Structure 1
Amino acid sequence: MNAPQVFFLPSGAEQRLCIHHAPQGAERARVLYVHPFAEEMNKSRRMAALASRALAQAGCRVLQIDLRGCGDSSADFGDAAWADWQADVRLGLDWLAAQGSTNAPLWLWGLRAGCLLGAADWGLPVNHLFWQPMSSGKLALQQFLRLKLAAEMAGGTSKGLMEQMKSALAAGQPVEVAGYRVGAALATGLEAARLAPAGPAGRVVWLELSTREDATLTPVSEQAIQAWQDAGWRVDAQLLTGPGFWATSEIEEAPALVQATVEALA
């Protein structure tokens, strides 16, 4: 197997760190990975790498990109806006579109809030691979802000904290949560994001994890899947057994998720 290519993709006066996994054999697909929010990105790096390598071995060209202010890309996390991240997705898609076979379909592979970022009209046919998708950015933002709420509860200083953070963001001021400074432009864009179908209809591979073998998709997921199907998209959904690696205290793996991903795309 070829070693992945690590390089910086220019973005104006800045640059974005990228990892390119070249396909083995005939090229079956071109895939852009959009990572999740804040610390979930770091917890998910191993799973993203394992899946990228497996997809490349199966004939998929994969590009992993660190969004603005994330990882080793330019700027600080607190300076990033939702529009910056949308521009980075476009940057990655354009790079992929210029590579390899023009007949190989384009895929946007998102994890958690990364699915929200990819669910847009990109002006060209794009399929979607959703890993543990979040139904709305409002929910994603609330979950993130609650991290600070939980941390302050032990000291008895959590009263009114959620309202204070929301008021600060509404006033255009940043807030700091779990070591991440979140700017108002990023929070506002995230909060407005919805996992809704847009652009030319294609395929959606919807994969979720649960530690319970008897678990089923939630009503929220089923409602969202129905909305994509009603818009003409072909949706293949599966609930697999595995840990929530994006939030576990130790780095964990979900082999069933990688296998299902390769089977669906390749």
Structure 2
Amino acid sequence: MSCASLDALPLLPFFLPASGGQRYCLLHLPPPGRSARGGILYVHPFAEELNKSRHVAAAQARAFAAAGYSVLQIDLFGCGDSSGDFSEARWDIWHNDLHLACAWLAQRVDGPLTMWGLRLGALLALDFANRAPLPLARLLLWQPELDGRRSIDRFLRLRLATSMLAGGTQEAPGQARAALAQGAAVEVAGYRLAPELAQAIEGVSGSALLPAVPVYWLDYQGPEQAAAPLPPLARQWREHGAPVHVASFGDGPFWHSGELLECPQLLDATRALCRDWLDEERTSP
């Protein structure tokens, strides 16, 4: 299907009523006259990475819709165009948002339900899938951040970098983490991080979670890098019996790039990695 045809696919923006207000959603629908073969829920990444990656996520959502899926993109509480401020966001609220979105999608779509997460959204999707009250068919993880503590460390380093670039009094390493430990919120690149959210994220690790459904995992591999080995966590999951399929892409780290990157390799790699269920369900009666 051509790019022009993808752009012409039905797209329904709406607000989903939820606790504490409403959640902004985009529903990508299959071509007119074609019933959906299943539903896919997209779980966006953390803070500014949400904005950096919107265009790539939308392109992939359109591709899935063209293949016959209903794809739901939801801005979680305190994020994007949904109700609440980022400082009010909590991990459990985001869990509730995903449950609401899954239930909404399952009521309207016959067929398997897939969760697709990017970066920290992949960890949230994995954590949710391990205690989801609704059956899920699979997880699609794009460049997953699967260690919560490491994710918070990386986020807090942005605060140090901003302090250095500002040229003023430089913050001592560990100062922001100490503030969080004392129950104070800290601001990082314009986002006010609550200690409750930071603590909850730090308490989640992929090494303590074993997926109960097949996992499709894509990692970025730069042109200067040799063939990437199997991620240690993917190997661990396989050793414990979880079906894990891994591939790479080379477009670039679009989730934090200073410019908007088009990612045709990522979309092609996703289509190839997911061919077993995409093709199987396409030909099923």
**TM-score if structure 1 supplies the norm length?**
0.91
The alpha-carbon deviation at position 3 of structure 1 amounts to 2.5
Matches of 2:149 and 2:63 in 1, distance apart? 33
1:238 has 2:279 as partner:
no
SS in 1 for 2:231: helix
| Equivalent residue, structure 1, for 2:149 | 138
Query: Scaled by the length of structure 2, what TM-score is found?
Result: 0.85
1:135 CA drift (Å): 2.6
Match of 1:183 among 183, 191, 194: 194
Alignment of 1:33-182 (within 5 A): 33-101=42-110, 104-120=111-127, 121=130, 122-126=132-136, 127-154=138-165, 155=167, 157-160=169-172, 162-182=173-193
CA shift at 1:200, angstroms? 6.8
- Higher RCO structure (Cα 8 Å, ≥6 apart): 1
Q: Could you say if the C-alpha distance between residues 200 and 142 of structure 1 is closer, same or farther in structure 2, counting changes exceeding 3 Å?
A: closer
- Structure 1 stretches lacking a partner, 5+ long: none
What's the C-alpha RMSD, in Å, of the aligned pairs? 1.9
Q: Shift in Å at residue 173 of structure 1?
A: 1.1
Answer whether contact 2:185 2:193 (CA < 8 A) is retained: yes
Stretch deviating more after TM superposition (255-264 or 208-217): 208-217
Q: Deviations over 1:102-135 (max 9, x none)?
A: xx22111100000110112213432110000013
Identify the range of structure 1 (162-171 vs 134-143) with the bigger mean alpha-carbon deviation.
162-171
Whether the aligned pair in 2 keeps the contact of 1:30 and 1:106 (CA below 8 Å) is yes
- Partners of 1:200 and 1:133 in 2: how far apart? 14
Aligned length: 261
2:27 counterpart residue number: 20
CA distance in 1: counterparts of 2:239 and 2:108, whole angstroms: 32
CA-CA distance at 1:230 after TM superposition: 3.0
The CA distance in 1 between the partners of 2:194 and 2:66, in whole Å, is 39
Query: Structure 1: which amino acid aligns with 2:241?
Result: G
- Equivalent residues of 1:116, 1:134 under 8 A apart: yes
How far 1:157 moved relative to its partner? 3.1
Separation of aligned partners in 1, 2:266 and 2:207? 23
Q: CA deviation at 1:159?
A: 4.7
Q: What is the rounded CA distance, in whole Å, between the counterparts of 1:150 and 1:128 in structure 2?
A: 34
- The alpha carbon displacement at 1:232 in A equals 2.8
User: Cα distance, 1:36 vs. partner?
Assistant: 0.4
In structure 1, the partner of 2:11 is 4
User: In terms of mean alpha carbon deviation, does 38-47 or 230-239 score higher?
Assistant: 230-239
Identity value in percent: 43
Q: Following TM superposition, by how much is the alpha carbon of 1:209 offset from its aligned partner in structure 2, in angstroms?
A: 1.5
Higher deviation after alignment, 66-75 or 4-13 = 4-13
The question of 1:250 aligning with 2:262 is answered no
Mark the CA change 1:200 to 1:245 in structure 2 (over 3 Å): closer, same or farther: closer
Deviation of 1:198 after TM superposition, in Å, equals 4.8
